[in-house]
């Protein structure tokens, strides 16, 4: 099953976890704080899923700002729009497209980010460079990702995290990879965050949740 089919099929379950799962609210807040787009900014989320980050970004950009979500799975975009209509009668701006080939013009985007998505991209470093090009010099870029922890006290939970990654991958993913899905995700997440450091002069990096969550952000040079 392809990733867009998988996310379309699990869209409602994913939405419940994405909004009410343990710790996710704090992670989304940390991401919006790190992105720091400023009032009035236009912000694009790549791999937006059901739009769980939208309220956090809208709080950061205020009434004059705009949140745009891009995802390649039609099912999650449907739920994202429904959620917006139910919340304040505003379906929001959700666009179907590939995060690695943004279906957007670059003249008015102030900031962009990906949350829990770089681990799904075959070449995450190239995607981050594309996103940086889109916002251009002075634009803001941020990433929020999960990967196995390297912290000694927490490493005992890595096997459970490995199962979590496997359960959250489209069926057949493990067979199609040479390493475990968690190992592949670790490598992709590390590459993405390195790429952000390469394109941003002032990159910040922090870990949360015992080192399982990583947040990077910076201003494109
Ligand atoms: C784990 S979900 C994260 C959703 C959301 N960012 C959040 O914080 O809840 C990953 C999302 O990325 C989307 N995705 C993965 N690869 C993509 C790509 N190349 N282009 C667009 N969307 C992609 C999937 O369809 C899925 O909705």
β-strand partners of 200: 220
> What is the pTM (predicted TM-score) of this model?
0.96
Residue whose C-alpha is closest to residue 47's, from 129, 140, 144, 132 = 144
At residue 44, the pLDDT reads 98
At residue 1, the pLDDT reads 85
What order do you get walking across the sheet with 111-115 strand by strand? 93-96, 66-71, 42-46, 111-115, 140-146, 213-219, 204-208
At residue 135, the pLDDT reads 96
At residue 206, the pLDDT reads 98
What values do phi and psi take at 118, rounded to 5?
-65, -25
Distance 214 CA to ligand 1 centre (A): 17
At residue 168, the pLDDT reads 83
Tokens 């770089």 map to which residue?
Answer: 118
Distance 51 CA to ligand 1 centre (A): 10
Cβ neighbours of residue 1 under 8 Å, at least 6 residues apart?
A: 9, 170, 171, 172
Question: Which residues contact ligand 1 via a Cβ below 6 A?
Answer: 3-4, 7, 18, 47-49, 52-53, 71-73, 76, 98-100, 115-117, 120-121
Kindly list the structural domains of the chain, giving each domain's residue range(s) and its CATH number in brackets, ordered by start: 3-216 (3.40.50.150)
| Ranges of the chain whose pLDDT falls below 70 | 106
Tokens 């199609």 map to which residue?
Answer: 176
The DSSP code for 93 is: E
Distance 127 CA to ligand 1 centre (A): 13
Residue whose C-alpha is closest to residue 45's, from 60, 57, 30 = 57
CA atoms within 13 A on the CB side of 163: 3
């Amino acid at each position: 099953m392809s990733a867009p089919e998988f996310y379309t099929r699990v869209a409602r379950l994913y939405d419940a976890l994405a909004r009410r799962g343990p710790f996710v609210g704090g992670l989304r807040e940390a991401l919006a704080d790190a992105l720091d787009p400023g009032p009035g900014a236009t912000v694009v989320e790549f791999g937006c899923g059901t739009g769980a980050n939208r309220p956090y970004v809208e709080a950061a950009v205020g009434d004059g700002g705009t949140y745009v979500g891009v995802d390649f799975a039609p099912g999650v975009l449907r739920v994202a729009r429904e959620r917006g209509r139910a919340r304040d009668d505003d379906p929001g701006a959700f666009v179907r497209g590939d995060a690695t080939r943004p279906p957007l013009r670059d003249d008015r985007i102030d900031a962009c980010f990906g949350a829990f998505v770089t681990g799904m991209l075959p070449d995450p470093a190239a995607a981050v460079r594309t996103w940086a090009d889109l916002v251009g010099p002075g634009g803001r870029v941020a990433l929020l990702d999960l990967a196995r922890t390297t912290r000694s006290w927490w490493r005992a939970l890595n096997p459970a995290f490995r199962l979590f990654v496997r359960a959250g991958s489209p069926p057949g993913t493990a067979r199609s990879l040479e390493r475990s899905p968690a190992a592949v995700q670790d490598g992709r997440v590390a590459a993405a965050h390195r790429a952000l450091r390469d394109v941003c002069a002032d990159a910040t990096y922090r870990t949360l949740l015992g080192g399982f969550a990583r947040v990077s952000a910076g201003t494109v040079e």
